[in-house]
Amino acid sequence: MNEIKEYTEKLFEDIKHVDENGNEYWLARELQNVLGYSQWRSINDLIERAKVACQESKYNIDDHFALYRKMIKLAKGATRNVIDYKLSRYACYLIVMNGNPQKEIIALGQTYFAIQTRKQELSEREYSELTEDEKRFYQRDLTRKGNYSLNIAAKNAGVKNFDKFHNCGYKGLYNEETANDIAKRKNLRYREDILDNMGSDELIANLFRISQTEQKLKNENIKIENKANKTHYEVGKEIRNTIKRLGGTMPENLPTPDKSLKELEKENKKLKDYK
């Protein structure tokens, strides 16, 4: 494959297929090329790890990793029967999450599929049809659930000082700002929840930090508190670097909504449907 000069989300959109029922899927061998793996066994190793994660999440593997065979052309007109997979968006998400985020295209894939997979979890209405406040409630609920899982993983990794642990993640993502620093910058009242005072884009960045840190703590079997703190910081920093490489807005520069989610809850009970 020719070296990819510019990494954009369009790379993943361009290889997306839609079947006769309107279902999206990606072919593993096409994803292999985009991710820069020259040999099938490299992507296949990621697929096998992703299948384990899929099973552990209580999903049916066959629904997300549909195995099929196809003929490919070789030199001098010869052909060979090879294995390929039709991958769901969730399967692609699991595959790139098992890749090396030091590779820029892997980091982009992790961002792209993580965000898109979260959006696909909506069952009643398309994510794009939601208002910004509805998106905030939806993403806030995901971060709440994500932090619950992260805290369990952190406890298993030896973390005892959870304030320090979470501040390490914030400092990596927010250019050394702690939770208190973020609250002060947003002009929040004492002990007011900073996540309740974020827009949907800022919540998504934090959700990515949360899910990536949980996976890394588990995958590397970390059992030392200092190492867990360092991991959380490094994940936050890597996500910040990815946002910068993609030309996105740094989290601390995203606007703070006029009203917190708790204020909106009181004003409009209907928005609770998105929690």
Average pLDDT value for residue range 214-220: 89
Confidence of residue 203 (pLDDT cuts 50, 70, 90): very high
Alpha-carbon distances, residue 142 vs 115, 130, 167 (angstroms)? 11, 16, 19
Residue 191, by phi and psi: left (phi above 0), alpha (psi -120 to 50) or beta? left
48-94 residue pLDDT tens: 999 998 888 778 899 899 998 877 776 666 777 889 999 998 899 88
Return the H-helix or E-strand segment holding 67. Answer: strand 65-73
225-259 residue pLDDT tens: 999 999 999 999 999 998 998 889 999 999 999 99
The domain segmentation of the chain, as residue ranges, is 10-95, 133-274
For the question of whether the overall pTM of this predicted structure is more than 0.75, the answer is: no
Alpha-carbon distances, residue 13 vs 41, 100, 270 (angstroms)? 24, 21, 34
Confidence of residue 125 (pLDDT cuts 50, 70, 90): low
| DSSP assignment letter at 16 | E
Alpha-carbon distances, residue 219 vs 159, 206, 271 (angstroms)? 16, 20, 37
19-44 residue pLDDT tens: 776 778 999 999 999 998 989 999 99
Sheet bearing 79-87, strands edge to edge: 16-18, 24-27, 79-87, 65-73
Asked if 206 contacts 173 with a C-beta cutoff of 8 angstroms, the reply is yes
* Higher pLDDT among residues 8 and 99, named by residue: 99
